[in-house]
Amino acid sequence: SVLDIADAAERHTAVARTIGLSLARLTDQQHDRYLELAVFGDDVPIPVTVLARYFQAIAGWSLFQTRRYCQRLAELSLVSDYQHDHIRLHDVIRAYLLEQTRHRQGQLHRALVDAHRNLVPNIDGITAWWQLPPTETYLWAWLPAHLHGAELNDELRACLHHPEWLIGKLHHLGPPGLEADLALCDDPLSRALSTAVRQNAHVLAPLQPAGSLAATL
């Protein structure tokens, strides 16, 4: 297929042409929403609820509109997978989206972050991301990457250094997930925390009774 072409330049041209044919069947507003998907990772399950909050903040779309839109993208093969509760982007498509939005990546990441601030309280001028509901599994996994992409570095550090984020991340994704978060920052405390997590990963699994993991950390 055209997606298997060996030459990188020819492959990029072929992908752009193929995607362009499908994009031509979208309205201008739908096309804009598609480019805004560039903030999400390839082959990452993107919850429709997260997408709906993002599109509601950017364009005032409802959850119903977002679901209809996801179905349309699936019909046009513009997403690699669509289930009732999530979509996925193919890596080739995401590369195309990144190229198309390279000059406004920070803006898009910030829009996604801002769309979710009302999920948690604001404490002394800081969004308390460590109080995210346990059901927000996408944000527990990927919020730091979006803060980093938005260049909200002070906010990222405030989140990653908070004990409740450290414990919550360990509960949700284990030591590798927390290490990945801390690798986004290059300050002394982040490096020290990363070293501690890496060296003690074997004792930082979920423990009983409740509170044992926090005490161990």
Cβ contacts of 23 within 8 Å, gap of 6 or more: 31, 34, 78
For the record, the structure tokens of 190 come out as: 């982040």
Tokens standing for residue 29 = 């507003």
* Angle 25-138-75 from CA coordinates, rounded to 5°: 20
- Give the phi and the psi of residue 205 in degrees, each rounded to 5: -80, 165
What CA–CA distance (Å, rounded) separates 139 from 136? 6
Tokens 């290059």 correspond to: 186
Tens of pLDDT along the chain (217 residues)? 444 545 556 656 666 777 878 889 999 999 999 999 999 998 999 999 999 999 999 999 999 999 999 999 999 989 988 888 999 998 888 999 999 999 999 999 999 999 999 999 999 999 999 999 999 999 999 999 999 999 999 999 999 999 999 999 998 999 999 999 999 999 999 999 999 998 887 878 766 676 777 777 7
Q: What is the CA radius of gyration of the chain?
A: 19
Quick one: pLDDT at residue 5? 44
